[in-house]
Structure 1
Amino acid sequence: MFIDSHCHIDSAELIEKGEALFDAMHAADVGYALCAGVSIESLPQALAIARARRNIFCAVGVHPENTEGEDPGAERLAELAADPLVVAIGETGLDYYWHKDRPEWQRERFRQHIRAAKLTGKPLIVHTREAAEDTVRLLREEGADEVGGVMHCFTESWAIAEEALALGFHLSFSGIVTFKNATQVKEVASRVPLDRLLIETDSPYLAPVPYRGKLNEPAYVAHVAVEIAKLRGVPVEEIAAASSANFFALFKAAAARR
């Protein structure tokens, strides 16, 4: 069984697929998926999907690219995370690619999410783009190692991977690992300890080969596992089993709902 540890099935593109989305998951042996939060306003839709299907989990957070809507503090995030269907805080983090001119605002939002994770005891889902050093620094300063989490869609160097691992974080790999020129991602995926490895789609974005450039969906996470298995020289079943076990070890609220 595979688990898509990070997707956005509450996006309009994937909602339009209806039952076909979940039929494809079943056919590809994708047993569970986690719908990461991008805004407070989108949380009700994600929760509605999770309430209707026991194999879907949610996280609450405001994506660092999101400049509109509610900008919650730690206590507000913790209040929303009290719902048993919410298994994590995020996605959150820093993105200096899209927001080069407002780093302090981003950093304060990130700090609030880390504090919410500590208030709730639920792990973090972290996004970082062109901000790896600041991301790790804030995680360290705010004591994020107390709750742990995952660096999702990991594309950074092995040096950054080691810093994240030292903080107790997992690394999650998306369809990017299947891209021909993604040499840095492939290197890290081949070296990360097996008990810290997760797989994801980040759908509807970043479809893996052979679907690159098309709409992504949770069923395609199996292609991520196949590529990582090739890189590590192990059977894909080993990657499936380890990443699934790691998912439930990290997201304990999800394990309680299995």
Structure 2
Amino acid sequence: MPTRRAIHIVDSHCHLDFPDFEGELDQVIARAHAAGVQRMVTICTRMDKEPAVRALAEAHPSLFYAAGVHPMRAHEEPLITVDQMVALTQHPKFVGIGETGLDYHYTVETKAVQQQSLRLHITAAQETGLPLIIHARGADDDMAAILTEMFRDRPYSCVMHCFSSGEALARAALELGFYLSMSGIAAFPRSDDLRRIFAAAPVDRILLETDSPYLAPPPHRGRRNEPAYTSYTASVGAGLFDMSEADFAAQTTANFDRLFPRARLSDQPA
């Protein structure tokens, strides 16, 4: 019998510092490895949590981290400075700037400070060369305008995390050379429009993520999500691009390595 190809998947966006995983993180990581998820990027969404998120990445070889101020938190404390963000990037396991972005679905009343915060994060990405990690909800027009304006001033790399926005924002992001990240939402039964957006994108611009503990794909929908479940989303993505799961996993892993060069396995100390 032919040997089944080993699948190497990356969960490019999860939140392993959240209380949902307290006391169980070793088991969660072990289940991820067993499912073929060999690397994970755990995301810090507020600066007072950065030391704890950094400690997780330091303690686990397969974890990397990124940090920023979530748009829904941007109004809760003084704006982080570009210099403060640049200083964080000196850590060898720090791989990206964010998540940052705009969320008008829940916090439209703070959109002015969200836009200020977003611009500061973009500047940090421009100065460091590290990829920007974007959260966008209910703000497609402003998001496309700000990303495009600042890119034309000085290019930077970016991933639209947990992409679930409209076709126009997807097109704007792809035209800038950015990446779209596919979460469990793409596996939801009513996500036909979103699946069409992904299927129309170049396969070399697709990443995979869980955004765990949120958005578990079927058959775990409604329960806590975790990095191991990236494999379910990978299966859906493979079908969209008419690829085998192993080939799609390999492609999205290569995409991740291109966007997040600090997290390449070959770059890690033995």
TM-score norm. by structure 2 comes to: 0.92
Partner of 1:102: 110
- SS of equivalent to 2:72: coil
The Cα offsets for residues 164-216 of structure 1, whole Å up to 9 and x where unpaired, read as 01111100010001101011211112121111010100000000000000000
Aligned residue type for 1:104: A
The alpha-carbon deviation at position 68 of structure 1 amounts to: 2.7
Identity level (%): 38
Q: 1:137 to 1:257 in 2, by over 3 A?
A: farther
- SS of equivalent to 2:46: coil
- SS of equivalent to 1:150: strand
Number of residue pairs matched? 258
Match of 1:59 among 66, 76, 88: 66
Structure-2 separation of matches of 1:70 and 1:244: 36
- SS of equivalent to 1:76: helix
The alpha-carbon deviation at position 71 of structure 1 amounts to: 2.7
Check conservation: 2:43, 2:65, Cα contact below 8 A.
Answer: yes
The alpha-carbon deviation at position 232 of structure 1 amounts to: 2.3
Which stretch of the first structure deviates more once superposed, 77-86 or 90-99? 77-86
Partner of 1:158: 167
Structure 1, unmatched stretches of 5+, are: none
Partner of 1:33: 40
The alpha-carbon deviation at position 47 of structure 1 amounts to: 0.9
Which structure has the larger Rg over C-alpha atoms?
2
Aligned residue type for 2:166: S
Confirm whether residue 238 of structure 1 aligns to residue 247 of structure 2.
Answer: yes
Partner of 2:141: 133
Match of 2:12 among 5, 14, 33: 5
Which stretch of the first structure deviates more once superposed, 142-151 or 89-98? 142-151
Match of 2:205 among 183, 196, 204: 196
Check conservation: 1:41, 1:69, Cα contact below 8 A.
Answer: no
Confirm whether residue 121 of structure 1 aligns to residue 132 of structure 2.
Answer: no
Structure-1 separation of matches of 2:21 and 2:201: 31
**Aligned-residue RMSD, C-alpha:** 1.4
Partner of 2:233: 224
Check conservation: 1:40, 1:70, Cα contact below 8 A.
Answer: no
Structure-2 separation of matches of 1:92 and 1:257: 27
Match of 1:22 among 23, 29, 38: 29
The alpha-carbon deviation at position 92 of structure 1 amounts to: 0.4
Structure-1 separation of matches of 2:23 and 2:214: 15
Match of 2:218 among 196, 205, 209: 209
The Cα offsets for residues 129-148 of structure 1, whole Å up to 9 and x where unpaired, read as 00011111111122277221
TM-score norm. by structure 1 comes to: 0.96
Runs of 4+ in 1 over 3 A off after TM superposition: none
Structure 2, unmatched stretches of 5+, are: 1-7
Q: 1:108 to 1:154 in 2, by over 3 A?
A: same
Matches within 5 A, 1:54-93: 54-66=61-73, 67-69=75-77, 71-93=79-101
- SS of equivalent to 1:92: strand
- SS of equivalent to 1:99: helix
